[in-house]
Amino acid sequence: MWPDNETERDFLNFGSIANTAAEIIIQAQGRPISIGVSGAWGVGKSSMIKLIRKALKEREEEPDSQFIIVEFNAWLYQGYDDARAALMEVIASTLKGIAERRKTGVEKAKELLGRVNWLRVARLTVGSATAMAFGLLPVGLIGEIYSLGKKAAAGEVDEAVLTEGENIAQKINKEAAGLLKGKQESSPPREIQAIRKCFEDTLDELGITLVVLIDDLDRCLPATTISTLEAMRLFLFLKNTAFVIAADTSMIKHAVRKHFDGVDDDLVTSYFDKLIQVPIRVPPLGTQEVRAYMMLLFVENSALEDNEKEVIRKRVCNQLSQSWRGVRVDRSFMETLRDDLQSELVARFDAADRLAPVMTTASQIAGNPRLIKRFLNALAIRMTISRAHGVGVDETVLAKMLLFERCGDPRAHEQLIKAVNEDNEGKPCFLAEWEEKALAGEDLELVEPWDANFVREWLTLPPRLGDHDLRGILYVSREHAPLITPEDRLSSEAAELLTALLEKPNMAGDLKDRLTSVPHPEISIILDRLLDRARKEQEWGAPAILEACLVVTRADPSQGSRLAAFLGELPPTQIKASIVPKIGSEPWANTVFTKWESTSVLGPVKKSIAHQRKNGNITV
C-alpha cells in the first residue's frame, strides 16, 4: 500500500522544476516575488511545494541564515477559523519566534503580532471594525449588554443577573485595555498600512527572506479561497518576501466568480494573474513518466534497503531527464540497475510496462499520479482479500479487470459482469473473438457501450480474458461487481443437495427422496452444475458423476431430455460399453443409443447396445 501524501522524494523528475523555482527566489535577492504552481487535482502540486522547500533548504549556507519558510494549508482552517486571520497570525507568530530565538528584531515582531491580533478581533467587518475605529465597543459586547438590559427591563434582576453584569463590565475593561489602548485613532486602513510597514521592518532587522508556501487552496470553499488570497495580498510585493501558491487555476477562477457575483471572465482571469508573477504548471505525465512512477512505487514497497531504493530512484530520474534523447525507463532498464532483483519485483516491472500506455491515455486516469496510486492500492487490497480467502487470483488478470472497472463504460462493465455470472464456467466468452482480432490488428466493429478507443487498447493487454474463469475476480471485487452464481438462486435445501451431489456423487441414490421435493427451476440449476462437472470427464463408462445426474432425472423426469442431449453429443471415442447397461432402462435411452449408433463409436459399444435391444432391456 502507498499513502496518499505529498512527498519530498522525487519519483517524477520534478526536481529540476523545483530547483528552477528555488533559483528564481534566490536570484530575486530580496525583491518581492510570487510563484504560482498550477495543475489539476492529484498531479503533484503538493509534492512540488515540498520539493521547492527542500531545494531552498539545500541552498542555505547554514540553518536559518537566509530563508524563513512558512507553510500554510488553508483547507485545514476551513470551518474552524477565518483563513485570512489565520494566515496573518501564522506569519506574525513565526517571525516573533525567529526574532526571540535570534534575539534581534523582537520589538518589531511583537508589534507586528499585536497589530495582526487587533485586526483579527476587528475581523475587518463593517460592524466591529467601524465601531472600534470610532472608539466604540465591538458588536459582541453590545449584544451582551442589550441582552442584560432586556432582563433588567423585564424585572428579572437576581443574583445571577448581577453576576452577569459584573462579568460584562470586566470584559469591557479587558477589551478596552487590551485592544483599544493607545489605538483610539486606529482604523482598518491605517492598521493595514502599519502592518505592512512593521512587516518590512521586521524582515529587515532579521535579515531574512520570508518564503510562504500556500497549499490546498483549490480544496477550499470559495469564501476561504478568497480570504486566503486577500490575506496574502496584504504582504505581497513587499521587500524580502516570496509567495509560492499551489492551486488549480480553474478552481481559483470558480471561487472568484462565486465571490464576485456577475464579474466577467476577463476580470476573473486577471484577478489571479495579478497575484502571480511567475506561473509554473506541473507537467502532465507521458507514458515514460507513468511507467517510471509505477516502477518506483513498486521499488518503494519492496524489501530493498532504503539506501538501495534511493540509488534506484536517482538513476531512474536521471534516465527520465534523458528521455528526450529516446532512452527509456522500462523493465529492461530496471533490470540493469541490480543483478539480484527479486523475481516478484521484476514481474511488477513487467506489469507496469504493460499498463502504463493505458494508464496514460485512459481519460479516467490520464496519467494522474494520485489516481495511479489509488489504482495500485485497490489492486493490492484485492490481492490481499484473495489470499485471505484462499481464492486463486492471477494478479495480471485482476489488474486488467480493475482497469476496465475504473476506465470502461459502466454499462459495458455491467454486461461483462453479467456474462461472467451467467456462464457456467465464469468465462466472458464473447471477449475471445474481440481479443484475437485486437491482437492481430484487425478492425473491430464494436457498438455502444463498447465502442471506445480505451476498449480497443484494453483488449490488447495480456492476458486474454475470454478463456479465463473470472468468478474469483468478481468475488474479491464484489463491492463493485457482485458475484451471482447459480447457487445464489437456490434455496438452502437445494444448495445443500447440490453440494452433496458434487462432493459424493456415488451416494446420490440416498438423496432421491429429498430431490423430489425441490422445485423444478432449482432442479434445473442443480443439473446445470452437475453437467458442468460432467464435461470434465474424459471417459464415459460409468463415472460417479453420471450416477448423480441419473438420480436427478429420476427425481424430475422432465430433466431426462437434457441429460440425453448431453450424452448424445459426447465424443464417440470417449464412450465405453459399460455405460450402455447403466442407462438402458431410462425412458430416454433409446434416443441416445440411436444417436451413438449413427456415429463412429467403438465396436464394443455397438455390440452392447445390440445386446440390450435383443434382451428387451431398452425402454422404447
Pairing of strands 278-281, 209-215: unpaired
Q: How far apart are CA 132 and CA 518, in angstroms?
A: 86
Q: Quick one: DSSP state of residue 559?
A: G
92-109 pLDDT per residue, tens? 899 999 999 988 889 988
> What band does 285 get if pLDDT is binned at 50, 70 and 90?
confident
381-416 pLDDT per residue, tens? 888 888 877 887 888 889 899 999 888 898 999 899
3-class secondary structure per residue, 55-80: HHHHHCCCCCCCEEEEEEEHHHHCCC
215-236 pLDDT per residue, tens? 888 778 888 888 888 878 778 7
pLDDT for res 615: 74
Residue 62 is placed in which grid cell?
Answer: 547554514
pLDDT for res 184: 43
Number of Cβ within a 10 Å radius of residue 423: 16
pLDDT for res 126: 36
Handedness of CA 285, 288, 292, 295 (dihedral sign): positive
> What band does 177 get if pLDDT is binned at 50, 70 and 90?
very low
Poorest-pLDDT segment among 281-295, 314-328, 476-490:
476-490
pLDDT for res 161: 46
- Burial (CB count within 10 angstroms: exposed 0-12, middle 13-18, buried 19+), residue 440: exposed
Pairing of strands 241-247, 67-73: unpaired
Higher per-residue pLDDT: 158 or 245 = 245
Angle, to 10 degrees, between the axis of helix 265-275 and the axis of helix 222-235? 40
Q: How far apart are CA 14 and CA 169, in angstroms?
A: 59
The mean pLDDT value of the chain amounts to 81
Bridge partners, 210 (sequence order):
68, 241
Chain centroid to CA 472: 23
In the predicted model, what is the mean pLDDT of residues 227-249?
84
299-344 pLDDT per residue, tens? 998 889 999 999 999 999 999 888 888 889 888 899 999 888 888 8
Which pTM was predicted?
0.62
Classified as helix, coil or strand, 208 is coil
Residue 578, pLDDT > 60, answer: yes
Bridge partners, 243 (sequence order):
34, 212
Q: How far apart are CA 558 and CA 310, in angstroms?
A: 70
Q: How far apart are CA 487 and CA 473, in angstroms?
A: 17
184-218 pLDDT per residue, tens? 455 667 778 888 888 888 888 888 889 999 988 87
pLDDT for res 361: 81
> What band does 428 get if pLDDT is binned at 50, 70 and 90?
very high
Most confident of 130-139, 259-268, 384-393: 384-393
Residue 587 is placed in which grid cell?
Answer: 425412458
Residue 608 φ/ψ, nearest 5 degrees: -65, -40
Classified as helix, coil or strand, 244 is strand
pLDDT for res 77: 73
- Position of cell 536570484? 27
Chain centroid to CA 559: 49
Closest CA to 523 of 570, 477, 479, 555: 555
Q: How far apart are CA 134 and CA 132, in angstroms?
A: 5
pLDDT for res 404: 92
Residue 378, pLDDT > 70, answer: yes
pLDDT for res 123: 53
Residue 121, pLDDT > 50, answer: yes
Cβ-contact 416, 430 below 8 angstroms = no
DSSP character string of 414-478: HHHHHHHHHSTT---THHHHHHHHHHTT------TTS-SHHHHHHHTSSSP-TTS--HHHHHHTT
- Position of cell 432586556? 150
Q: Quick one: DSSP state of residue 177?
A: I
pLDDT for res 187: 61
Residue 457, pLDDT > 90, answer: no
Entry field: residues in the chain: 620
Residue 145, pLDDT > 80, answer: no
Residue 127, pLDDT > 60, answer: no
Residue 233 is placed in which grid cell?
Answer: 495580498
pLDDT for res 515: 93
Q: By percentage, how much of the chain surpasses pLDDT 90?
A: 19
In the predicted model, what is the mean pLDDT of residues 500-505?
89
